[in-house]
Amino acid sequence: MASVRQLLVISSLVIACILVGMLAMGTSLMERRLDAQLQTDGENAAATLALLVSAQPGAEARVRVLEAAFQQGRFADLDLAPDDPAAPAFQSRRTAHSTGDAPDWFTALVDIQPHQASRQVAGVGALRLTLDPGPARDALWAHVSQWTWLALGLAAFWALFVVALMARVRRELAASAAADAPEIKIKRTEPVEDAELMDDVRERVAPTMDEQMARIERLEIELNRDPVTGLANRSYFLNELKRMLRDDSRQGAVSGYVLLVRSRDMTRLQNQTSRQELDDWLRLLGRRIIELLNENQQARALPARLTGSDFVVLFPVGGGPEVMRPVQRLRALLETLRVKLDSHNLSRWAFALTDYTVQCTPKEVLTRLDQALMCAESAGHEEIEFLSYADHEDGELLMGEASWRTLITQALDHDRLSLDVRRVQYEGDDVPERYEAALVLQEDEPNQPRMSGFLFMPAAARLGLSPACDLRALCLALNWLGEHDGVLVIRMSIASVLDPQYLEEIRQICRNADAQLLHRLAVELDAYGLSRHHEAFRAFAQGAIEAGLHVGLRGLDQQPDALRQIHEIDFTYVKLGGAFVRELLASPGGVQMMVAVTETAIGMGMRVYIDDADDPATRQMVIEYGALPRIA
C-alpha cells in the first residue's frame, strides 16, 4: 500500500510539472508570436499607408487619409513629417493605451512592447506610426486564461481518479484475507502422453508461414483503411510514398505523380446534411474511385483519404501523357458526384497535381501539392493545377519527353487543339458578354477525353513548344470572335512571353486581323512574370497593347510584389482570388491593403475582378471597395 501511495504521489508531481511547463512554454511562444505579429502588422500598415499617401494628389488629401486611418483605433501614434517645410504636417498620438481585458499586473509581466515603423515616402516626407499593443496583450491574456482553466480541470480529474483508485485498492486488500496458499500438486505424465500432447500442438499450429504472412497483410490493409470511404488512410499513403522515393532503380527519372483532390465545401456539407447521408455519399465516392482506377490496372494507382476533405491518388509508375488519361477520367467522375448546397449551387472540387523523383522528399512533394492547391482554389476555375518538380529545380523533362513532344507536335500539325469557351459574369461589370477560353488538346484516340491546357502546357513550356500553342490559341480566339459576340479572354504562358520572337509573331497576326475583333480580345498574363521578369514582361505587354489587344493580369494575390509595377502597364483588369480577399478582410491591416489595391487599380482605369467570393459578407465588402465579385 505504501508503494502504491508513493507511486501516485510521484506521478502527481510529474503531471503537475508537465502542466506547468506546458503552460509556461505555451505562454512564452504565444508572447513571442504576438510580439512578432505586432511588429509585422506595423510594417505592413506603414507600407500600405505610404502607398496611399503617395497616391494622393495634394497635402490636404494626405492629411484626410491619415486622419481616417488614425480614427480606426489601431494606432498609438501616427505622424507625417513633410519634406517641404511649407506643407502641413500631421501628428496624432493617444495619451493612454486602450484598456482591455488583461489586468495591470499581467500587462506589467508580459514583454509585448509597441514597435515603431517608418517609411520614407518619395516626394512627400517621412511617415512614422506605432500600433497599439493592447489587443495583443488581451489575446495573450485570453490564451493564458484558457490554458490555466484547462490545466486546473485536468488536475481535478487526476485528483478524483487517484481518490477512486486508492479506495478500490483498499477494498481489494481488505477482501483478500491472508490465508495459506493452496497446495500445488504436480502430476507426472508418461512419455506416450507427452508425444500425444506434442502431436496435438502440431495440429493446432498447422497454418504455414505463407498463410500467416497473408493474414498479416490482410490485417494491415484493414487497419490502414479509412472506415467510411474504404480508401487507404493517410499513414498508409505516406509509407507508400516514402517507399517509392527510396527506389533507386530510376535515379533521376520521374518516378510517378501525385494527385490531390479537395472538397472545398465539406464544412458546408457537414452542416446541411445528416451524418448518415454524408457517410453514404463518401462511401459512394470511395467505391466509384476504386472502380475507375481498377479499370486502369497499368497505372497501379493507390487512392487514399488524406484528411476529412482531402483525397489523394498516388501514381507510382509512368510518365508523359499516359498518366494524364486516368487523371482526366477521375476529374470527370468527381464532377458527376457534386452535391447541391443550400445556396442551390453545386459543391466544388479543387485539383492539384505534381510529379516526384527519387531526389524528392515527402515534405517537398506535399509542399508542391499545397502550393498548387492554393493556386487552384484562387484561380477561379475548376481545372487541374500542375506544379512540376522541374519548375522548382530548373530542370528538364526527364521521362516521357518523347511522348509529350510527339503528342503536342501532332496536335499542332493536325489541328487537334481547340478552345474550351465558358461564359463568365462579374457583378457590376459593364461588359455584358464576357467569355474566358482555355486551350484543350484532343488525342488521336477518339475515346480519350480532351486534355486540359493546365496539364500539357507545363510540358510544352519545357520543350519550347508553348509559343506555338499560344499562337494557335490566339488564332482560334480570333476565329471564335468572328462567329460570336462579346469579349473573349485567353491565357498566355510566361514561357511564351519570354521568347524574343513571340511578340513579333503576335504583331504579325494582329496586323492581318480585323481591328474590331482585336478590340474584343483580351490576353491574360500571370503576375509572376511581372514580379520576376519585369523588363521582358513590360516589353511584351506594351507591344501587345500597341498591336490592339487588351491585357489583363491574374494571380496578383499570389505575387503581391507586382503591385509596385502595375502602374507601368495599362492593364484592362486585374484578378484576385476569393480566399486571399477573405484573409485580407479579416484584419485591419489587410483591409488597408485591400483598399490600396483597389484604389490603385481603379485610379488607373483598371477593373478589379474577384474570383471565388461566395461569402455574402465578403461580396458586400469588396463591392463597397469598388471590386467586382464573380457571379458565374
Mean per-residue pLDDT for 40-62?
Answer: 78
Instruction: Tell me the per-residue pLDDT of 437-451, one tens digit each, with 9 for 90 and over.
Output: 999 998 877 677 788
Question: Residue 491 pLDDT > 70, yes or no?
Answer: yes
- Range 607-616 average pLDDT: 80
520 versus 51: the higher-pLDDT residue is 520
Separation CA 176–CA 262 (nearest Å): 60
pLDDT value for 316 = 82
* Domain chopping of the chain, boundaries: 16-139, 230-399, 401-571
pLDDT band at 488 (very low <50, low <70, confident <90, very high): very high
Query: Residue 572 — very low, low, confident or very high, per pLDDT cuts 50/70/90?
Result: very high
Mean pLDDT of the chain: 81
Instruction: Indicate the residue type of 491.
Output: R
What is the predicted pLDDT for the residue at 198? Answer: 64
Percent of the chain with pLDDT over 90: 21
Higher pLDDT, 39 or 1: 39
Residue 191: pLDDT band (50, 70, 90) is low
Q: Is the pLDDT of residue 247 over 80?
A: no
* 197 pLDDT tier (thresholds 50, 70, 90): low
Rounded to whole angstroms, the Cα distance separating 443 from 451 reads 8
Give whichever of 316-320, 462-466, 533-537 has the largest mean pLDDT.
533-537
Which run of H or of E encompasses 212?
A: helix 209-223
Element (H, E) at 126: strand 125-131
- Architecture of the CATH domain 230-399: 2-Layer Sandwich (3.30)
Most confidently predicted of 207-216, 422-431, 466-475: 466-475
Average pLDDT over residues 129-136: 78
pLDDT at position 189 is 52
Above 60 in pLDDT, residue 205?
no
Q: Does residue 467 register a pLDDT over 60?
A: yes
Whole-number pLDDT of residue 184: 46
State the helix-helix crossing angle for 59-70 and 2-55, rounded to 10 degrees: 160
**pLDDT at 181 (0 to 100):** 44
pLDDT digits (tens, 9 = 90+) for 321-333: 777 888 888 988 9
What are the tens digits of pLDDT across the range 323-368?
Answer: 788 888 898 899 899 888 876 678 888 898 888 887 788 888 888 8
**pLDDT-based confidence at 190, cuts 50/70/90?**
low
The CA distance from 79 to 90, in Å, is 5
Does the structure show a pLDDT above 80 at 548? yes
* pLDDT at res. 632: 60
Does residue 370 register a pLDDT over 80? yes
pLDDT exceeds 50 at position 177? no
**196 pLDDT more than 70:** no
DSSP one-letter string for 37-69: HHHHHHHHHHHHHHHHHHH-SSHHHHHHHHHHH
Give the model's pLDDT for residue 180. 46
Q: Which CATH superfamily is domain 401-571 in?
A: EAL domain (3.20.20.450)
- Which has the closest alpha carbon to 516: 467, 479, 473, 482? 482
Q: Which residues pair with 357 in a beta bridge?
A: 254
Which has the closest alpha carbon to 229: 299, 281, 153? 281
Higher pLDDT, 96 or 134: 134
Tell me what the mean pLDDT of segment 198-220 comes to. 61
CB 337 within 8 A of CB 331: no
Indicate whether 278 pLDDT > 80.
Answer: yes
**What is the average pLDDT across 451-479?**
89
The whole-number pLDDT of residue 435 equals 94
Q: Quick one: what percent of the chain has pLDDT higher than 70?
A: 83
